[in-house]
Structure 1
Amino acid sequence: MHIAYIVVTVITVAANAGIAIADFAKAKFVLANSAEVNLPQTWLPMLATMKAAGAVGLAVGLLGVRVIGVAAAIGLVLFFVGAMAAHVRARVFRNIAFPGAYLAMAIASLGLAITQ
């Protein structure tokens, strides 16, 4: 189970760090998705910071500070529940799999972190 925790959490860290960088860079696909779900562009830096903080927190958890890792995983779960809600509210279902995948990674990381 420890190997699964490491693998899943490293993937979750990489995915969230990557999307945070895309958010900070205001990548075209990020801007298009934000506009589609009626998210103001001014929110992107704050949301990117949250994703990056979640990635850093998960990494700290992997380094042995379990409570930070668990807190980061909880934060990411809540974040991506909000992202899913934004997609549902805006009735944007064609790309809802993306926040769904991030939510699944966060849930898996949380579940594995708790069992460590």
Structure 2
Amino acid sequence: MFAAYVTVTIVAAVFTGSAAVTYLIGHAYPKAQLDMKRLPQSWGPVLGLVLAAGSVGLLIGIAVPVLGIVAAAGLVLYFVGAIGAHLRVGSRQLVGPGVFLAVSVAALVLALGRQ
């Protein structure tokens, strides 16, 4: 069970960490996503920092379980919000945020199972 937890946690951290980097370097894709969702461009770096904090929190959570639980729960909320933002503007591009949400939920469930 611990091996599954570590594997899923690392995958979730890599996914969210890579998304954080795209926001933080000002890549065109997250900018287009913000425009599509009618959100201000100034939110890009903030969302990138939230994703980065979640990613780092997941990794630290391997050693400090409560931090991993909090980070995973925060990421679940983030991606629920992302799906809500897509639905709000009528977007049906839900596979991306759905995959991120599923990985975050898996990390949360496995982190809770460690307790």
Q: Which moved more, 1:30-39 or 1:48-57?
A: 30-39
TM-score when scaled to structure 2?
A: 0.96
Equivalent residue letter for 1:100: G
Moved over 6 A (4+): none
Q: TM-score, normalising length from structure 1?
A: 0.95
Q: Take 2:15 and 2:47, find their aligned partners in 1: how far apart are those partners?
A: 14
Aligned to 1:108: 106
The residue number in structure 2 matching 1:97 is 95
Q: Does structure 1 residue 41 correspond to structure 2 residue 41?
A: yes
Q: In structure 2, what is the Cα distance between the partners aligned to 1:82 and 1:30?
A: 15
AA partner of residue 34 (structure 1): L
Whole-angstrom CA distance in 1 between matches of 2:102 and 2:38: 23
For residue 70 of structure 1, what is the aligned residue in structure 2?
Answer: 69
Distance (Å, rounded) in 2 between the aligned partners of 1:34 and 1:26: 11
Deviations 1:29-86 (A, max 9, x none): 1111111111111001111110000001000011x20000000000000011000000
CA distance, structure 1, for counterparts of residue 39 and residue 8 of structure 2: 29
CA RMSD of aligned residues (A): 0.7
Q: Percent identity?
A: 39
Aligned length: 114
Unpaired segments ≥5 residues, structure 1: none
